[in-house]
Amino acid sequence: MTRISQAALPRRFYARRADEVARELLGCVLLRRYRRSLLAGRIVETEAYVGEEDQACHARSGRTKRNAVMYGPPGHAYVYFIYGMYDMLNVVCQPAGKPEAVLLRALEPLDGVETMRRLRGVAGHPKRLADGPGKLCRALAVTRRQNGIDLLGEQLWIASGALAASESVQRSARIGVDYAGVDAARLLRFFIGGNEHVSRLPASRRRRPQR
DNA sequence: CTTGAGATGCCCT
DNA sequence: GGGCATCTCAAGA
């Protein structure tokens, strides 16, 4: 069992710009109550989606049935289904009416690793268990059933955490939003530099490891 | 190690 | 009906 505090971050943490929240979520711990077990992972990669003006954001065409939760109060889960197969977990930011959110893209598994493996249907190293937004949802049994739930509640919440002195925040363009024109280039993806649990980019986008 | 294709369902133009 | 904030597997080198 993890020894860090499991207290949920307060509502005001989320009631800010999504890019600030995305950066500060790095190192925090996502907790999931699932059938009597507690699953936990350290957040190592996020992306900010920053409102109707952001051409990569689901709110770019205004409020719809799918994105309605983003327009609601902060500190709630926005979970949507994509590619016919995967769910994506976001946390809603900003006060109600301002549709911003942070996509949780990768975790370093801390607790409940065996359950995560079972949910994912894979064996092997924990660094492959939740190193991508679709895998993260599978590993924590998060689906559209959780869309709209309060992150200050009982089944899914985030506790504070910190970066080690040796860790640094890195930024890049967001993944998979090439259609978004100039917004595709904005540096709204945040990750812990060098962390092994960060998602692997498609080879076509990968750069040579810097030395 | 790499690349490419296929899976698969729902929202919204 | 297009396209999507993805992933896995198989095959090649």
Residue A136 near residue A130 (C-beta atoms within 8 A) = yes
Q: Which nucleotide is nearest to A178 (CA to C1')?
A: C5
Question: Is A204's pLDDT higher than 80?
Answer: no
Q: Which residues make up the interface with nucleic strand C when CB must lie under 7 A?
A: A 47, 49, 56-58, 82-86, 88, 90, 101, 103, 120, 122, 132-136, 174-177, 179, 199
* A19-52 tens-digit pLDDT: 999 999 999 999 999 999 999 999 999 999 999 9
Report CA(A141)–C1'(B1) in Å, whole number: 32
Residue A138 near residue A1 (C-beta atoms within 8 A) = no
> Domains (ranges, CATH) in chain A?
11-199 (3.10.300.10)
- Phi, psi values for residue A49, rounded to 5°: -125, 120
Mean pLDDT of chain A: 94
The pLDDT of residue A211 is: 38
What string of DSSP letters covers A107-170?
EEEEE-HHHHHHHHT--S-GGGTSSSHHHHHHHTT--GGGTT-BTBSSSEEEE-----TT--EE
* Cα angle A207-A24-A187, degrees, rounded to a multiple of 5: 35
Question: How many angstroms separate the Cα of A37 from the Cα of each of A6, A32, A106, A116?
Answer: 14, 8, 20, 11
The pLDDT of residue A10 is: 98
* A104-163 tens-digit pLDDT: 999 999 999 999 999 999 988 888 999 999 999 999 999 999 999 999 999 999 999 999
Question: How many angstroms separate the Cα of A178 from the Cα of each of A23, A55, A171, A182?
Answer: 22, 10, 17, 9
Q: Which nucleotide is nearest to A202 (CA to C1')?
A: B3
Residue % of chain A over a pLDDT of 70? 93
* A51-68 tens-digit pLDDT: 999 999 999 999 999 999
Q: Which residue has the higher pLDDT, A94 or A200?
A: A94
Nearest CA to the C1' of C4 belongs to which residue?
A83
